[in-house]
Structure 1
Amino acid sequence: MAPRAKASSETVEPTRRSTRISAQPKVEAVKEAVKKAVTKASGKKRAADAEGTNDGDDAAPNVKKSKAENAASEEAGDASNDSAEAAPVLSHIDIGDSLPSYTLKNEKDEDVNVAALAAEKGVIFFLVPKADTPGCTTQACGFRDIYPDFTAHGFDVYCLSADKPSAQAKWQTKKELPYPLLSDPKRVLITALGAGEGGKTKRSHFIFAKGGKLVDKKLPVKPVDSPKLALEFVKLSAAES
């Protein structure tokens, strides 16, 4: 019986060795397949990164850069448009000079040629930095309260600012301003009068006699003083004529 057991043992031993040997090529094949898959995926990622199409965290800098570039392009375009639509330049207007022929919008969004305003009456332009702000409201209401005195002496009053007509109309209604408001968004006339600097409007007023000649100006002037000083000059002029 012993020889049979030995034979059985010898038979099993070769079978186990054969199994291990045959399994080795399969393991190597799997490793090789995994390696190829990893290499392929890495290649795709690098290609995606190069094209800026990767949706992962690595793509974030590309997206931010694109937005920044777009913003810069838009700003450049706006600057180009501003340059293309550059505001006209009027000659400086000083005492003795006449109102130029220049068209502005009033609070009703209607065209107004400023030179024509002085054809039959004297004209007072009071300039404010911004509609419906405390100082400007004080100045505007001051001219409102003594408006009949100006018209009685043959002068019309106009508020001049860089505000849009819609903002001026709202302010006019709110404070019951009896005179027109003129919009000079590019500060063309405002600058010609010497009241435009650094993108702002200096509080002031200018008095033009009938016919359009500048006869008095106050630049700068305090909100509460502007209406009173303008009326004093008008009354003095009337007394001397």
Structure 2
Amino acid sequence: MARLEPGVPAPSFDLVDQDEKPVRLSDLRGSGVILFFYPAAMTPGCTTEACDFRDSLAPLQAAGYTVLGISRDAPAKLREFRERDHLPYALLSDPDHAVHEEYGAWGEKSNYGKIVHGVIRSTFIIDGEGVLTHALYNVKATGHVARIRALLEV
């Protein structure tokens, strides 16, 4: 999959959240969006990353950003994850990984020395006009949100 670069329009999407309500990128125009792709709900690394976003949500929102997480998990599992870890932002379901592919967050990666196809932990920062300002691939679960806050100076 080709990777996206800052300055290009963010690929549009229409997915359902943990409550099976539709979420469209086009509906979020006018505010910034932080879109993070993670491998699986309720796994240790993904929980760390999701909770870091939770704990940094106030300054991110104050700076005008909406945070959204995307995984291949079904809405019921996303709902359980959100409730278990008190995540105050929407988690979106992309079971066929079509949106992952459009963002370059699906592809070959090394897993314990073996090449596999799967989710590439990635985060995209989108401005109010729908243009990518940052495209971060192969991010680490720990410390990643602090890096985003530094990039955004929030």
Indicate the larger mover: 107-116 or 146-155: 107-116
Task: Give 2:147's aligned residue.
Answer: 229
- Partner secondary structure for residue 206 of structure 1: strand
2:13 aligned residue (94, 99, 102): 102
Scaled by the length of structure 1, the TM-score of the pair is: 0.57
Task: Give 2:36's aligned residue.
Answer: 126
Aligned amino acid, residue 188 of structure 1? A
1:208 aligned residue (116, 119, 126): 126
Match runs of 1:87-98 below 5 Å: 93-98=4-9
Retained in 2: the 8 A contact 1:161–1:185? Answer: yes
Task: Give 1:197's aligned residue.
Answer: 107
- Partner secondary structure for residue 160 of structure 1: strand
Q: Larger helix proportion, structure 1 or 2?
A: 1
Alpha-carbon deviation of 1:99?
2.4
Alpha-carbon distance between aligned partners in 2 of 1:221 and 1:113, rounded to the nearest angstrom: 24
Q: Give unpaired runs (5+ residues) of structure 2.
A: 109-116
Alpha-carbon distance between aligned partners in 1 of 2:40 and 2:53, rounded to the nearest angstrom: 16
Alpha-carbon distance between aligned partners in 1 of 2:40 and 2:12, rounded to the nearest angstrom: 24
Aligned amino acid, residue 74 of structure 2? K
Structure 1 runs of 4+ with >2 Å offset = 91-94, 99-102
Retained in 1: the 8 A contact 2:11–2:103? Answer: no
**Higher relative contact order structure (alpha carbons within 8 Å, sequence separation ≥ 6):** 2
2:27 aligned residue (116, 119, 137): 116
* Matching of residue 148 in structure 1 with residue 95 in structure 2: no
- Partner secondary structure for residue 133 of structure 2: strand
Retained in 2: the 8 A contact 1:99–1:115? Answer: no
Larger radius of gyration: 1
Retained in 1: the 8 A contact 2:122–2:136? Answer: yes
Aligned amino acid, residue 5 of structure 2? D
Alpha-carbon deviation of 1:214?
0.3
Aligned amino acid, residue 72 of structure 2? A
- Partner secondary structure for residue 207 of structure 1: strand
Task: Give 1:164's aligned residue.
Answer: 74
- Partner secondary structure for residue 159 of structure 1: strand
Alpha-carbon deviation of 1:115?
2.6
Alpha-carbon distance between aligned partners in 1 of 2:99 and 2:43, rounded to the nearest angstrom: 22
- Partner secondary structure for residue 186 of structure 1: coil
Aligned amino acid, residue 90 of structure 2? P
Q: Give unpaired runs (5+ residues) of structure 1.
A: 1-90, 237-241
Aligned amino acid, residue 126 of structure 2? F
Retained in 1: the 8 A contact 2:4–2:135? Answer: no
Alpha-carbon distance between aligned partners in 2 of 1:205 and 1:234, rounded to the nearest angstrom: 13
